[in-house]
Structure 1
Amino acid sequence: MEIKELTRAEEQVMQELWKLGKAFVKEIIEQLDEPKPAYNTVSTIIRILETKGFVSHESFGKSHRYFPKISKDTYKEFAASKLLSGYFDNSPRSMLSFFLQESKLNIRETDELLKLLEKAKKK
C-alpha cells in the first residue's frame, strides 16, 4: 500500500490516535490543544484518514471507535525518506549536518549521537 502525506490537521489527529491506540472522536478531541476543534471537523478528518488507509474502525451501534492501520514508525520512515529526498538530495550526511548545525545540541546529546554513529559504524 502506498503511503500518502498527511496534512497538518490529519497528522495532529493521527498523533493522538497513535498515543491512544483506539478512540472515539470525542476522546481524540479531549487530547487536542485549545481551542478544541468542532466534533464535525475531527469526524471529517477521521473519515479522510480512513479513505487514505491510515485508520479503520469498529462499530458500536451508531458510534465508531477508530484505530490506526499504519504505525507511527511506518509513517516516520515515510516522512524521513521524503525529507531526505526532498531537501537533502538523498544525502544522510547533509541532513545530519543540517540538524547538527541548526539544532544547537548540548554536550550530552552530541555524545549520544556520537555513540549511535560508532555503533552504526561497527555494523
Structure 2
Amino acid sequence: MQLIWKLERALIRDILNELPEPKPPYTTLASNIKNLEKKGFLGKKAYGNTFEYFPLVSQGAYGKRSFHQVIQNYFNGSMANVLSFMVKEKGISQKEIEELQKLIDNNFKEEA
C-alpha cells in the first residue's frame, strides 16, 4: 500500500519496479494486489488486459484498521495487553509511560 500511495496510480509492473531486490515474482505481487482490491483497499481501471490500480482508502484509515486488527488478533482486544507488551518487550521508558498517562488523562478530560 505504501508504494501505491506514493505512486497514486500504478500498474503491477510499476509497483514491481519500485520494490527493492530481491523482488518477488510478478505473479505473487499480482496476487497480493488483487487481495487488496477484494478487501476494498484498491480500485482499478482496465486498459485491455492491463489494470491500473489506485488507493481507495487513506493511509490513516488503513493504519487504523490494521492497528485494530493487531489488537484483536494478537492482544485479545485488550489495550492493557498492548501496553503490557510495550512495557515488557519494547523497553518503554518511564518518560514514555508518563507521556502516555498524560494522553490518557487528557482524553478522559475531553470526554467528560
Same fold at TM > 0.5: yes
Letter in 2 for 1:70: V
Residue 16 (structure 1) aligned with residue 40 (structure 2): no
What SS does structure 2 have at the residue aligned with 1:64?
strand
- Structure-to-structure mapping, 1:17-36, within 5 angstroms: 17-36=4-23
Q: Which of 13, 37, 49 is the matching residue for 1:50?
A: 37
What SS does structure 1 have at the residue aligned with 2:22?
coil
Report the equivalent of 2:74. 87
TM value normalised by structure 1: 0.65
What SS does structure 2 have at the residue aligned with 1:94?
helix
Report the equivalent of 1:76. 63
Q: Which of 27, 41, 60 is the matching residue for 1:40?
A: 27
Structure 2: where are the runs of 5+ without partners?
none
TM value normalised by structure 2: 0.69
- Mapped to 1, the partners of 2:100 and 2:8 lie a distance apart of 30
Summarize the Cα distance change of 1:49–1:101 in structure 2 as closer, same or farther, 3 Å threshold: same
- Displacement of 1:36: 0.9
Q: Which is higher, the Rg of structure 1 or of structure 2?
A: 2
Percent of pairs with identical residues: 35
What SS does structure 2 have at the residue aligned with 1:53?
coil
- Mapped to 1, the partners of 2:5 and 2:95 lie a distance apart of 29
What SS does structure 1 have at the residue aligned with 2:87?
helix
Structure 1: where are the runs of 5+ without partners?
1-13
Alignment: residue pair count: 110
Summarize the Cα distance change of 1:112–1:30 in structure 2 as closer, same or farther, 3 Å threshold: farther
- Mapped to 1, the partners of 2:93 and 2:6 lie a distance apart of 28
Letter in 2 for 1:98: F
Provide, for residues 85-115 of structure 1, a one-character-per-residue CA deviation record: whole Å limited to 9, x for no partner.
3333332122112212211235664554344
